[in-house]
Amino acid sequence: MAGTSEAFAGIGKIRFEGPSSKNMLAFRHYDADALVEGKPMRDHLRFAVSYWHTFRGTGSDPFGPGTMIRPWETESDPLKAALARVDVAFEFLDKLGCDFYCFHDRDVAPDGKTLAESNKSLDAVADRLEQHQKQSGKRLLWGTANLFSNPRYVHGAATSPNVETFAYAAAQVKKALEVTHRLGGAGYVFWGGREGYQCLWNTDMKREVDHLATFMHMAVEYAREIGFTGQFYFEPKPREPMKHQYDFDSATCINFLRAYGLEKHVKMNIETNHATLAGHEMQHELEYAGMQGFLGSIDANTGDTLVGWDTDQFPTNVYLTTQIMHSILKYGGLAPGGVNFDAKVRRESFEPVDLFHAHIGGMDAFAHGLKIAAAMRADGALQKLLDERYASWSGPLGKRIESGSESLASLEKEMLAKGEAAACKSGRQELFENLINTYL
């Protein structure tokens, strides 16, 4: 490949060294080919690096400019810089031992003066991505389009009051789908961007949400035309940048998909920090999507309980990853989705090696959580407690109600005869919580 010198000189391939290793540039838990529930860890987890945070994140925040030291960013021509960055990205994926990546169109290639110019740049970068994928076996977990940075998207994209903004966004998604398809992407994500509102007085909510559905139908239809069979995902986020985003949480998104006839085509891509912004636990979002048959993929990160915005931190909390992996195993796994690190190193962690520490920590936390969740399932003690808690539903009356053969009148008869319901049993929350800790 074009890169002559290494971007991450001095850092070799990150290897599994086991829980007792003292080497901080090694995995303690992520052993890609080790089997868990009969399947290699890499296939359970399908880890992906986010191109936007890891290769485009500058560390800027509302109080100051970027801080990241990225010695490879030497090209002033945006397309040349974009091409050089692809080499760096694949060196990173290779050294990290991560199988997938995800991108927005404008992360990988520069925004041009015209749509045609932007498309041309994207094609040139896609050539380079394709070469690297072929050489390395790395794959695209999902692609998406950035429909929120350019000022034309100030009022949203598919939900903009400006019809030509909608049209431009449609053209951008067409191209992003083509590139995702060409690169063998396993999926395509819709995240709302600025699809939402700051003020209801100046917003025709029904018209905007109708337009969002029309837009998604166009994407699903175009995917069919070009033979893209990857999974579509909708990524819930309740607020930020808008005060209300239409893709608020799993329940809201699933209702939207069903109301507009999109439920056969689109699943959820659930992000931890977005769940907490919505006032939910990640486990809630996964369980809700899972029980409805909409669990697709996850954006792995974490928020900070003391900071109220989408801080997109790398996940290191094993209790959290255990909850996540338990739900994922319960609902049959993520494939063709995966675990995408939609996470950024802190502004204060500005050296290239911090990118490794961040991803190693996240991958290890998930691998650890996977092993714990599998142990819990193998042992069956949690399931036994749950079965006991719902035991009355397995009796004759419960079975009749669950199968739909009872009515209000028949139940009234039953309770008139009994006079009072059987006494409730303790919920044993503390026992359940203590049991979980025995596996940690």
Residue 189 binding target from Ni ion, ligand XLS, none, CB below 5 to 8 Å by type: ligand XLS
Residues 240, 249: contact at Cβ < 8 Å? no
Closer Cβ to Ni ion, 339 or 370, answer by number: 339
Residue span 270-289 as binding mask against Ni ion, x where in contact by CB under 5 A, dash where not? -x------------------
Number of residues that bind Ni ion (CB under 5 A): 4
The nearest distance, CB 77 to ligand XLS, in angstroms, is 26
Reply yes or no: is the peptide bond before residue 336 cis, omega within 30 of 0: yes
DSSP H or E run through 113: none
* Of the candidate residues 342, 369, 373, 374, the single one contacting ligand XLS (CB under 6 A): 342
Closer Cβ to ligand XLS, 181 or 237, answer by number: 237
Dihedral (CA of 17, 20, 22, 24) sign: positive
User: 375: left (phi > 0), else alpha (psi -120 to 50), else beta?
Assistant: alpha
How far is 341 from 398, CA to CA, in rounded Å?
Answer: 43
249 interacts with ligand XLS by CB under 6 A: no
Residues 129, 183: contact at Cβ < 8 Å? yes
Q: What residue is closest to ligand XLS based on CB?
A: 191
* Of the candidate residues 230, 342, 364, 371, the single one contacting Ni ion (CB under 5 A): 342
Q: What residues contact residue 425 under an 8 Å CB cut-off, 6+ apart?
A: 389
DSSP states of 20-45 as a string? T---TTEESS--TT-EETTEEHHHHH
235 interacts with ligand XLS by CB under 6 A: yes
Number of residues that bind ligand XLS (CB under 6 A): 10
The nearest distance, CB 383 to ligand XLS, in angstroms, is 33
Query: Segment 62-121, which members bind ligand XLS (CB under 6 A)?
Result: 104
Find the catalytic residue in 87, 99, 107, 342: 107
253 interacts with ligand XLS by CB under 6 A: no
172 interacts with ligand XLS by CB under 6 A: no
* Of the candidate residues 197, 299, 343, 373, the single one contacting Ni ion (CB under 5 A): 299
Beta bridge pairs of residue 48: 100, 340
User: Radius of gyration of the chain from Cα atoms?
Assistant: 24
189 interacts with ligand XLS by CB under 6 A: yes
Query: Segment 124-153, which members bind ligand XLS (CB under 6 A)?
Result: 144
Burial class (CB in 10 A: 0-12, 13-18, 19+), 161: middle
The nearest distance, CB 235 to Ni ion, in angstroms, is 5
The nearest distance, CB 367 to Ni ion, in angstroms, is 21
* Of the candidate residues 191, 233, 234, 256, the single one contacting ligand XLS (CB under 6 A): 191
Strands 339-341 and 47-50: parallel
Closer Cβ to ligand XLS, 285 or 342, answer by number: 342
Using DSSP, state whether 415 is helix, strand or coil.
Answer: helix
Q: What residues contact residue 258 under an 8 Å CB cut-off, 6+ apart?
A: none
310 interacts with ligand XLS by CB under 6 A: yes
Find the catalytic residue in 44, 53, 104, 368: 104
- Amino acid at position 302, single letter: T
Closer Cβ to ligand XLS, 28 or 53, answer by number: 53
How far is 370 from 382, CA to CA, in rounded Å?
Answer: 16
Active site residue 280: no
Residues 303, 276: contact at Cβ < 8 Å? yes
344 interacts with ligand XLS by CB under 6 A: no
Residue span 180-219 as binding mask against Ni ion, x where in contact by CB under 5 A, dash where not? ----------------------------------------
The nearest distance, CB 147 to ligand XLS, in angstroms, is 9
Active site residue 284: no
How far is 365 from 315, CA to CA, in rounded Å?
Answer: 7
Dihedral (CA of 68, 69, 72, 77) sign: positive
Dihedral (CA of 152, 158, 162, 165) sign: positive
Residues 140, 100: contact at Cβ < 8 Å? yes
Binding residues vs Ni ion (CB under 5 A): 271, 299, 310, 342
**Catalytic annotation, residues:** 104, 107
Binding site for ligand XLS (CB under 6 A): 104, 144, 189, 191, 235, 237, 271, 299, 310, 342
